[in-house]
Amino acid sequence: MTHAGGIEAAGEGVDQGTPAVQVSGLRKSYGEREVVRGVDFEVHKGECFGLLGRNGAGKTTIIEICEGYVKLDDGSVLVLGEDPASPSSTWRARLGIVPQEMELLPTLTVSETIAMFRDLYPRPRDVLDVLQLVGLGERGGSRVRGLSGGEKRRLDVAVGLIGNPEVLFLDEPTTGLDPEARRSTWSMIEGLKDHGVTIILTTHYMEEAQLLADRLLILTEGQVAASGTFGELQHQHGSVSTISFRLPAGTETSGLALPALKANVTDANALEFESTDVQSDLSSLLDWARTNSVEVSGLQVARDSLEDLFLSIGQATGSGELQEATR
């Protein structure tokens, strides 16, 4: 295997600066409907890149073009430096794919299924290791047909991992998982990141994207609505924070110069307002409290979650159905 080892070393010797995925001017239509309308992005080696957008925004189409399943109409795509439209076996061996829906042979056992895929790759991982990694260590002898939805989904992920990929496409990996299984999948994905695997993740769970993705791209109707790190997105989209606190009963607040109080104040003494400049609003609140000798208690500052941001970006681009996508 010295020969294969040499190839591997040569592969890793290719300059790390080359992006794992380069997409520019990408367009794709199905019949009359243009589902991807000029999308550009790059995924760096070793990062987790989150692709977000509501159903029909074009996420899966873009992913399937990168995987070599779908031909693009216009633009260019390079994955690990190769054009997915003419995929080679060696190129395929470097990718791991976890599609949204995947059929396996129902009469095979879990271990047999993974072993069958293992045998197709030049440098596979160990079957038992992968099963343990996805939390199916005890289910190796079960038939695929008898798995629960969540177990099936974890088997899909295991099939994507068995070839020890450099780039892993995860199309909604935790859909259908219970909260515990979802959390263990998250820690598994973080483990893969630690091992330098490049991950392209689509998900409808914003907390998942916020937790795992180093950079995000939000698609609306086949176009890039926003992209960057979570912090950059918050900054670009004039993110709003919520400041809440309590005052002693009967406090006179007329002298308090703050932005409009939110309507949904729970009781007379609990106040809440939205702030676009947390630092100055907080200092004017505390100055006022000191001057008037008022005790401010339960002070909290909450920043927007990605979900809030996602919804606001969707509304800004005129799509009212975004809420559906976050369910």
Partner 1 sequence: MSTMTMVTSQTRYNLIASLRSGTSIAVGIVMPIVFFVGAAALFGSAALGGDIPVEVRGAGETPDLRTFYLGGFMAYAIIYTAFVTLLPEIIEARESGFLKRLHGTPLRLATYVAAKTLIVLAMCVISVVLLTLIARFAFGVETRVAAIGGIAIYVALGTAMFVCLAFGVTSFVRNQSGAQGLSNALGIGLALVSGVFFAPSLLPEAVQDVAQWLPLQPLANGFQSLYVVGASGLSIDLRDVGVLVAWALVGVLAVAIRGFRWQPKQHR
Min separation Cβ 112 and partner 1, Å? 6
> In the structure encoding, which two tokens stand for residue 86, read together?
């003419």
Stretch that binds partner 1, among 42-50, 102-110, 129-137, 202-210 (CB under 8 A): 102-110
Stretch that binds partner 1, among 96-104, 126-134, 209-217, 297-305 (CB under 8 A): 96-104
Regarding 261 and contact with partner 1 (CB under 8 A), the answer is no
Stretch that binds partner 1, among 12-20, 106-114, 191-199, 209-217 (CB under 8 A): 106-114
> In the structure encoding, which two tokens stand for residue 274, read together?
């939205």
Within 21-80, the residues that bind partner 1 by CB under 8 A are 30-31, 33, 67-69
Within 141-180, the residues that bind partner 1 by CB under 8 A are 159, 163
Min separation Cβ 11 and partner 1, Å? 15
Residue 26, phi then psi, degrees to nearest 5: -70, 130
Minimum CB distance to partner 1 smaller for 105 or for 268: 105
Closest CA to 253 of 235, 229, 269, 274: 269
Regarding 218 and contact with partner 1 (CB under 8 A), the answer is no
Strand pairing of 241-246 and 167-171? unpaired
Strand partners, 30: 33
> What b-and-e string marks burial along 96-133, b requiring 16 or more CB atoms within 10 Å of the CB?
bbbbeeeebeeeebbbbbbeebbeebeebbebeebbeb
Min separation Cβ 96 and partner 1, Å? 9
At a CB cut-off of 8 Å and minimum separation 6, what does 114 contact?
Answer: 127, 130, 131, 155, 158, 159, 162
* Binding residue (CB under 8 A) for partner 1 from 116, 211, 256, 296: 116
Minimum CB distance to partner 1 smaller for 5 or for 30: 30
* Binding residue (CB under 8 A) for partner 1 from 2, 15, 17, 119: 119
Stretch that binds partner 1, among 11-19, 108-116, 251-259, 299-307 (CB under 8 A): 108-116
What is the 3 state secondary structure string of 310-325?
HHHHHHHCCCCCHHHH
Strand pairing of 33-43 and 21-30? antiparallel
Instruction: Quote the crossing angle between the two packed helices 149-161 and 179-194, to the nearest 10°.
Output: 10
Min separation Cβ 74 and partner 1, Å? 18
Rg value, the chain, Cα: 24
Number of residues that bind partner 1 (CB under 8 A): 31
Q: Contact residues for partner 1 (CB under 8 A)?
A: 30-31, 33, 67-69, 89-90, 92-93, 95, 97, 99, 101-105, 107-108, 112-113, 115-117, 119-122, 159, 163
